[in-house]
Copies of this chain bind each other. A is one copy, B any other.
Amino acid sequence: RITELAEQHFREGSRSETPLLAGKKVVVTAGPTRERIDPVRYLSNFSSGKMGYAMAEAASRLGAETVLVSGPVGLQVPKGIRTVQVESAAEMLDAVLAEYGTADVVIKAAAVADYRPKTVQSGKMKKQEGDSVLELERTADILKTLGEQKDGQCLIGFAAETDRVAEYARGKLERKNLDYIIANDVTAPTGVFGSDTNVVTLFGRDGTEVTFPATEKKALAMKLLRRIFGGEQDDR
Contact = CB atoms under 8 A, between A and B. Distances in A.
Interface residues of A, number: 33
A41 B40 CA distance: 17
A130 B46 CA distance: 24
A21 B196 CA distance: 42
A37 B43 CA distance: 9
Interface stretch (A59-67, A121-129, A149-157, A213-221): A121-129
Interface in A73-117: 74, 111, 113-115
B129 A138 contact: yes
Nearest to A40: B45
Contacts of A138: 127, 129-131
A41 B114 CA distance: 10
A70 interface: no
A160 B115 CA distance: 27
A205 interface: no
A133 B131 contact: no
Leading 9 A-B pairs by shortest Cβ distance: A134-B134, A74-B74, A132-B136, A41-B45, A40-B45, A114-B127, A131-B137, A123-B162, A40-B46
